[in-house]
C-alpha cells in the first residue's frame, strides 16, 4: 500500500489519434506538487483552459468518459486515468493539443511505459483514502456496483456478453503497481465489427482499427495476433473501472464488485457513493494490516 502522495519525475509525451474523432493529438504528462490532483489542460485553445479530473466534471459517458468545463472538453480519459491510479499517482498535469486523448493500442500499456520511463516520485505529504465503512450499492436490473469494507484496494468485475468468445467472465484483483502493470495495463478495448461499422457510418469511431483495440465478428477475433490474455475482455473492463472510479479524486480503500457495469453506470455509482457520507470516512493512514482508525488523520469534506 502506498501511503504518501506521488507524481512523476519528469515530463513525458506521446502522439496518436482519438478513437472516435480520428484526430491527431499530442499529449504530455508533467509532474505536479502535492494536493494538485490530476488536471487536463487544452494547450490548443486560448488561455489554456484547465479541467480537473473529477466525477462532477463528467459531461458524457455514452461512448467514453468525457470531462468538461465551460464548453471545453477532454474525451476518452479513462485509460490514462486508470494508469495513473494503477501506479498510485494522484498529482499530474496533462497537456494535450486536441479534445480527445490518443487511443494508442487501446490499452494503458503505452502510458505505463511512459510513466516508468519518467520515474515515479514520492512526495512528503500523506495520501488520503475513502475508507468504506459499510456497503454502498447501486443496482438497476442486472447491473450493479457495490463497495464493501476492506483493508485492501480490490476490484472484482463480472461481464456477460452473448458472444461465444466472451460469454461470462469474472476476475478479481488486489490493486498494486505490480498487479496493474502485469495483469491489467495491457488489456485492450474491444468492439464488435457490426457495431464499429455502424458507428463509422455516423461519423464516429473514425480512429478505430485493428491497431487500436480488439475487433470481433460473429465467430472470431479479427486481430492476427489474437488476444493478450484468454480473459482480456474482463481485464479491460477492470481497467475502465479503475479509471472511472479514480474520478472521486482519492483512492477507495474497499472491495468494489461490479456486474455488467460500464462508464455510465460507473459514473452513476460515484454520485451514489459520494452522497452516502455516513458509509465512508476520509483518512490518511501511516500503516496498517487492517483498517485502523486510531492511526489515521481525518480530512474534512
Measure the CA–CA gap between 281 and 250, rounded to whole angstroms: 12
DSSP per residue, 172-225: EEE--HHHIIIIITTPPPEEEHHHHHHHHHTT--TT-STTSSEEE-SSSB-STT
255 in active site: no
Measure the CA–CA gap between 120 and 42, rounded to whole angstroms: 24
| Residue among 121, 59, 132 at smallest CA distance from 91 | 121
∠ CA 130-134-137, rounded to 5°: 90
Which is catalytic among the residues 20, 236, 255, 263? 263
Please name the residues in contact with 163: beta carbons below 8 A apart, sequence gap of 6 or more: 192, 216
Integer CA distances (angstroms), 9 to 47, 124, 154, 225, in order:
26, 14, 27, 34
Measure the CA–CA gap between 60 and 58, rounded to whole angstroms: 6
Please name the residues in contact with 182: beta carbons below 8 A apart, sequence gap of 6 or more: none
Catalytic site positions: 263
Amino acid at each position: 500500500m502506498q501511503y504518501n502522495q506521488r507524481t512523476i519525475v519528469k515530463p513525458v509525451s506521446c502522439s496518436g489519434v482519438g478513437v472516435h474523432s480520428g484526430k491527431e493529438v499530442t499529449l504530455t504528462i508533467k509532474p505536479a506538487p502535492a494536493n494538485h490532483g490530476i488536471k487536463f489542460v487544452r494547450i490548443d485553445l486560448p488561455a489554456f483552459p484547465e479541467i480537473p479530473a473529477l466525477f462532477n466534471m463528467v459531461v458524457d459517458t455514452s461512448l467514453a468518459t468525457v470531462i468538461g468545463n465551460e464548453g471545453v472538453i477532454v474525451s476518452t480519459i479513462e485509460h490514462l486515468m486508470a494508469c495513473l491510479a494503477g501506479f498510485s499517482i494522484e498529482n499530474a498535469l496533462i497537456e494535450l493539443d486536441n479534445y480527445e486523448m490518443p487511443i494508442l493500442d487501446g490499452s494503458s500499456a503505452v502510458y505505463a511505459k511512459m510513466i516508468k520511463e519518467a520515474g515515479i516520485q514520492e512526495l512528503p505529504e500523506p495520501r488520503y483514502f475513502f475508507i468504506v465503512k459499510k456497503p454502498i450499492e447501486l443496482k438497476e436490473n442486472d447491473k450493479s456496483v457495490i463497495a464493501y469494507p476492506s483493508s485492501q484496494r480490490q476490484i472484482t468485475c463480472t461481464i456477460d456478453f452473448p458472444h461465444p468468445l466472451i460469454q461470462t467472465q469474472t476476475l478479481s484483483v488486489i490493486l498494486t503497481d505490480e498487479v496493474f502493470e502485469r495483469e491489467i495495463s495491457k488489456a485492450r478495448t474491444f468492439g464488435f465489427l457490426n457495431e464499429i461499422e455502424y458507428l463509422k457510418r455516423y461519423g464516429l469511431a473514425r480512429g478505430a482499427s485493428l491497431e487500436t483495440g480488439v475487433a470481433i465478428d460473429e465467430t472470431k477475433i479479427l486481430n492476427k495476433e489474437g488476444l493478450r490474455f484468454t480473459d482480456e475482455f474482463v481485464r479491460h473492463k477492470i481497467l475502465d473501472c479503475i479509471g472511472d472510479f479514480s474520478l472521486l479524486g482519492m483512492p477507495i480503500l474497499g472491495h468494489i464488485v461490479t456486474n455488467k457495469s460500464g462508464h455510465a453506470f460507473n459514473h452513476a455509482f460515484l454520485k451514489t457513493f459520494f452522497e452516502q457520507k455516513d458509509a465512508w470516512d476520509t483518512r490518511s493512514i501511516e500503516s496498517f494490516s487492517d483498517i485502523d482508525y486510531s492511526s489515521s488523520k481525518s480530512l474534512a469534506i
